[in-house]
Amino acid sequence: MEYSVKELAELSGVSSRTLRYYDEIGLLKPARWSEAGYRVYEEKQVDLLQQILFYRELGIELREIKRIVCDPSYDQLEALKGHYRELEQKRNHLDQLLSTVRQTISSRERGIRMSDSDKFAGFKEQLIEENEKNYGKEAREKYGEDTIDESNARLRDMSEEKFEKMKALEADILQLLKEAYATGNPASKKAQELADKHRQWLLYSWKSYSKEAHAGLAEMYLADERFKEYYDKAVQGGAQFLKEAILNYVATE
């Protein structure tokens, strides 16, 4: 099958203007140009457009999509399997949120008290899924399956009050990182306050605390680009500073 811009737009639900833009940026080139000077798309381009739309649905920016699909090692079948897993996770999260809403409605209609843990089940499940997606592989390799499973279970069972405190503490850490970084000294009082806040935050999901595990996590923050990016967003060089602050903290605590 061959398609013009208009025909592919109608088939896919993507506007003709968007298809032309994808051509301009090198994301989706037509198979060829007709003698009349019109873009012509074939099955290969149709399949690629499907992949692009999958990635777009998952919230990935066009620049990153282009980098992925233009990689010589890009495997469409493996990508489809990945899309399937991602969409399953999204569906599971939506199912959890729907269940939470249903329970809330039912509890209010019938006057039955709903546990604090149940009220926040959907939101906590989303946090667990995001952590597993972004850091799960590395964390499980470093700390073991049982430790991470136990950490997830602790989060699922967390009360509303503790969950809100944990989220607030996470925000405090990012703000304190900026203030501590301004001192230029990872051994400063402010930096050690930062490291201690970080310890407190870890204990919401860790069963027990150890200096070795804390130091190991700090090393992981710098070694893994995803961890590094999270803290560097708060302040450039933040991941390196936090690591040094934690290493000072565990050495002197």
CATH assignment at residue 226: 1.10.490.50
Residue-wise pLDDT tens digits, 122-144: 555 665 666 666 555 666 666 56
Domain with 121, as residue range(s), is: 75-158
Residues 63 and 106 in one domain: no
**Is the domain of 212 the same as that of 187?**
yes
pLDDT at 110: 64
* 79-132 pLDDT per residue, tens: 878 877 777 777 776 776 666 666 666 666 666 555 555 545 555 566 566 666
Domain limit, last residue, from 69, 94, 111? 69
Q: What is the pLDDT of residue 123?
A: 57
Question: Which residue among 18, 39, 69 closes a domain?
Answer: 69
From 128, 158, 188, the end of a domain falls on 158
Record the tokens describing residue 68, joined without a space. Answer: 């992925």
CATH number at residue 56: 1.10.1660.10
Cβ atoms of residues 220 and 162 within 8 Å: no
Long-range contacts, stretch 132-137, CB < 8 angstroms, 24+ apart: 133/89, 134/226, 135/224, 135/226, 135/227
Q: Are residues 235 and 188 in the same domain?
A: yes
Quick one: pLDDT at residue 152? 64
Pair 17, 100 in one domain: no
Q: Provide CB contacts within 8 A for 69, sequence distance 6+.
A: 27, 48, 51, 52, 55
| Span 24-29, average pLDDT | 94
Give this prediction's pTM.
Answer: 0.45
What share of the chain in percent tops pLDDT 90?
37
Question: Total structural domains in the chain?
Answer: 3
- Structure confidence by residue, pLDDT tens digits, 157-174: 666 677 788 888 989 999
Question: What's the CA angle centered on 183, arms 182 and 187, to 5 degrees?
Answer: 130
